[in-house]
Amino acid sequence: MYFPYLRGKQFELIALRELVGLPLNPERIIPIIEPVKKNVSSLKTALKALSGAEIRVQLVVNAEHGELKGDSESIFTLIEELKDLGVTSIIPTYLIKTDRDSFFAQESIRQRGFSDSGYALVHLNKTNDIQSLSDFTKNTACLYNTIHINNLFGLKRKYDNRALLSDNFNKLTKNTDYIAIKEEVFSTDYLYFPDEGCIAFSDYQTIGSSYSEGGGPAYAVAIHLTYKLEGDEDIRIAHFVSKSNDDASDPARKYFEALEDLIQFVDEKNIPDTIALREFRRHYQQQSFSGLGVVKKLSIMHHIELIQGLIS
């Protein structure tokens, strides 16, 4: 199984909604969503769409980032509202990074009855095992223990229903820094996660784990595309960067410069078609540009479709 880790930003949620018709495979894809916006209308719409496709979602109730950090009550309220609408595919999920997170999770699971209905844990504590969680990680109602790769060796014999979480995206300071790299190895987790005793794996797609509310005008536009060539075990990632990067003017031109290189690369490598690649081609043919959020959305969509194809 694959657990794509997404923050609840607009275009990340739209990416999931637009992939529903792929269709997403409920036996292969179970997203983890960390809500980061107080206005949960987009999140609610996405969760309803995913539920309609029988896709379960691990919904983080104690967000580490964004406007909902420290506001678990809003997420619990949303879960109850969705239940009233017949959406029962939400798995309350707790990020565990400190002892405080552990205590909160234990009390919350008890008080809200999740020890009967089911919950999941994402272990972000990279160096220390929090022993107090032992009963909760072994409980049959603990559906998934997603463990950061840096802590996997110490925990994999203790936790059942394990998933491997990796941050495979090489996050550089500026988009222009990717000009020197062009392409690199991204991951082989899809192939080797069972060797680690895991039932699933998780990553942050082509975004990375670092969080920001949003940047200013882009001097350079970069498109990041994962791919796997026949006969090669590695998933690789290619970076396509605009050329007119002296100032922040004309982002559409910058996008088409990067997009032209992407189309040429895809054709030369004979990379299999996806929903996102078809949309990239349409943009290039029609010279249409709807903003950088759409670029990120398509990159996410392509990666999730790639992974689903590999593990199916």
Once rounded to an integer, what is the mean pLDDT over residues 170-184? 96
Question: Higher confidence at residue 78 or residue 128?
Answer: 78
pLDDT digits (tens, 9 = 90+) for 182-230: 999 999 999 999 998 899 999 999 999 999 877 678 899 999 999 999 9
Instruction: Tell me the residue ranges of DSSP E strands in 217-301.
Output: 222-227, 235-241
Contact 1, 190 (CB under 8 A): no
For residue 49, what are the contacts with CB-CB under 8 A and spacing of at least 6?
16, 17, 20
pLDDT bin (cut points 50, 70, 90) of residue 268 is very high
Instruction: Work out the end-to-end distance of the chain between its first and last CA atoms, rounded to an integer number of angstroms.
Output: 9
pLDDT, residue 129, reads 54
Tell me the residue range of the domain where 121 lies. 2-311
CA distances from 296 to 61, 213, 263 (A): 25, 14, 16
Residue 152 has pLDDT above 80, yes or no: no
Counting DSSP H helices and E strands in the chain, the numbers are 11, 11
E strand or H helix that includes residue 165: strand 162-166
Picking from 108, 38, 104, 113, the residue whose alpha carbon sits closest to that of residue 71 is 38
What CATH number is given to the structural domain containing 296? 3.20.20
Exposure pattern of 24-58 as b/e (b: 16+ CB <10 Å)? Answer: bbeebbbbbbbbbbeebebbbebbebbbebebbbb
Dihedral in degrees, nearest 10, Cα atoms 8, 14, 17, 23: -110
**CA geometry: angle at 111 spanning 86 and 83, to 5°?**
5
CA distances from 197 to 2, 4, 145, 152, 237 (A): 14, 19, 12, 10, 26
* Greatest mean pLDDT among 9-18, 149-158, 190-199: 9-18
Contact 285, 260 (CB under 8 A): no
Contact 86, 92 (CB under 8 A): no
pLDDT, residue 156, reads 53
Contact 246, 267 (CB under 8 A): no
Cα 156 to the center of its chain, rounded Å: 22
234: helix, coil or strand?
Answer: coil
Residue 158 has pLDDT above 80, yes or no: no
**CA geometry: angle at 232 spanning 227 and 236, to 5°?**
30
Q: Which range among 210-214, 254-258, 283-287 shows the weakest confidence by mean pLDDT?
A: 210-214
For residue 197, what are the contacts with CB-CB under 8 A and spacing of at least 6?
156, 157, 162
Residue 243 has pLDDT above 90, yes or no: yes
pLDDT bin (cut points 50, 70, 90) of residue 16 is very high
Once rounded to an integer, what is the mean pLDDT over residues 81-96? 95
**Which sign, positive or negative, has the C-alpha torsion 273, 275, 278, 279?**
negative
Residue 106 burial (C-beta neighbours within 10 Å; 0-12, 13-18, 19+): middle
Q: Which range among 24-28, 91-95, 148-152, 204-208 shows the weakest confidence by mean pLDDT?
A: 148-152
Count of domains for the chain: 1
